Amino acid sequence: MIIEESIAGRSLLARLDHGAEMIGQITDLARERKIKAAVISAIGALSRADLGFYDQAGREYMVRAVEEPVEIASCTGNISLLEGEPFVHAHAVLADSSGTVLAGHLVRGTIFAAELFVQELAEADLHRAWDKKTGLKLWSDVQPQGVGR
Amino acid sequence: MIIEESIAGRSLLARLDHGAEMIGQITDLARERKIKAAVISAIGALSRADLGFYDQAGREYMVRAVEEPVEIASCTGNISLLEGEPFVHAHAVLADSSGTVLAGHLVRGTIFAAELFVQELAEADLHRAWDKKTGLKLWSDVQPQGVGR
Amino acid sequence: MIIEESIAGRSLLARLDHGAEMIGQITDLARERKIKAAVISAIGALSRADLGFYDQAGREYMVRAVEEPVEIASCTGNISLLEGEPFVHAHAVLADSSGTVLAGHLVRGTIFAAELFVQELAEADLHRAWDKKTGLKLWSDVQPQGVGR
């Protein structure tokens, strides 16, 4: 287990932009406010989305397109560093008008309306690196070399 | 994007009352403790619920009644001000005994048992106002006039 | 309503171990770091899981085995004390490769990869005790007797 102990930093509430791409806009927010580590949570609605499922045996993401309006029933995740840049990792639970629920890794989503909470973790310094066991970019206890930060 | 930067205030854990209405009880808690801005999260179970889906084209909520016991698999959202009073906005993911999962805007729910977390945001001052693009009451950067606070 | 007012303590981000049992590993973390009260949130993926649904009339948990890889689309809950020891209460929303979503009380799950956030509540002192109305072990305002802490 890799454990990073920190304390709460800035707490941000944001109304994301109608029509913008959600993961991109959270990434932009992190870059502009110089957030290196945070946990995030959001609710709202999307006009479309792409949801990922990681094939644990095949080691690749399968992506499902959701081509209709959905409620963001839940969206939680974190911000950490990948190659020295803020990287948003978020999972979401979406519900369509028929009551069908879809869930997984939020690859991208077009915002209808969304309310985002970002809790910065002031002293955390978490870097992602490729993990042999899973094929995923996970938090690593090896400090990255030669990253221009 | 509207961004409100704040810091953590009080952290409350609450056991909600068996038989009470969940959104109303969280609103009461916010009013009693004078919480103007917060993020919330809850787990537990409901004996019934109403879940909303916002029709993005038709600009109205469709409400689905869930007339049976359900687990609250997730319930996240926030508290901000609407017309000077605390307003709770929460989305939920519910699961019934058959394994069916329902999700959306939590309009109301009757508590069987629920454990609530409220993280106050000490310096945030977010007001909802009607938004032309979506037809929703979203956070606005226009300060409300003549609100009796 | 039982309300415990506190302030934020330590904030932990953890990469949980591939192959470990998730609830057990969070419990171990709480014990090692001497965390008495916290809220938790996680995303990631499990190779299998057991999900519980509480039969509100029959007063017992029904447990459903999920014998396949799933995304942890959401996992939220808390840590408090039961008989003087850290007790993890978490609910989860899981998604399988076919797009089916499952949700409920996370009884146990085998970690493929998981990123955990633990927000300690520094001054909270919440104890679980058997509750007559629900048959569940809920937060109680009666201080436990003779607990070896």
Q: What is the pLDDT of residues B25-48, one digit of tens each?
A: 999 999 999 999 999 999 999 999
Contacts of residue B65, defined as CB under 8 A and 6 or more positions apart, other chains included, come to: B48, B49, B50
| Residue B47, pLDDT score | 98
**R_g of chain B, CA atoms, integer Å:** 16
- B 28-57 → A contacts, CB under 8 A: 37, 39, 41, 51-57
* Cα gap A14→A113, rounded to integer Å: 11
Contacts of residue B27, defined as CB under 8 A and 6 or more positions apart, other chains included, come to: B86, B87, B88
| Residue B149, pLDDT score | 40
How far off is chain B from C28, nearest CA to CA, in Å? 22
- Name the closest residue on chain C to residue B12, using Cα atoms: C5
User: Cβ distance A8 to B120 under 8 Å?
Assistant: no
Tokens of A55: 């094939």
3-state secondary structure of A97: coil
3-state secondary structure of B19: coil
* Cα gap C125→B73, rounded to integer Å: 24
Nearest to B93 among A8, A11, A93 (CB): A93
Look up the pTM and report it.
0.96
User: Cβ distance A73 to A142 under 8 Å?
Assistant: no
Interface with A, mutate which of B4, B40, B54, B128 (most A CBs under 10 A): B54
DSSP letter (8 states) at residue C17:
P
Element holding A59 (H helix, E strand): none
How far off is chain A from C137, nearest CA to CA, in Å? 26
Question: Which pLDDT band, with edges at 50, 70 and 90, does C42 fall under?
Answer: very high
Strand partners, A121: A8
- pLDDT (mean) for B98-113: 96
3-state secondary structure of A41: strand
- pLDDT (mean) for C48-70: 98
- Name the closest residue on chain C to residue B7, using Cα atoms: C8
Tokens of C90: 């978490």
Interface residue A64 vs chain C (CB under 8 A)? yes
Nearest by Cα to A56 from C90, C115, C19, C117: C19
pLDDT surpasses 60 at A148 = no
A134, C112: Cβ pair inside 8 Å? Answer: yes
**C99-132 as b/e, with b when 16 or more CB fall inside 10 Å?**
bbbbbbbbbbbebbbbbbbbbbbeebebbbeeee
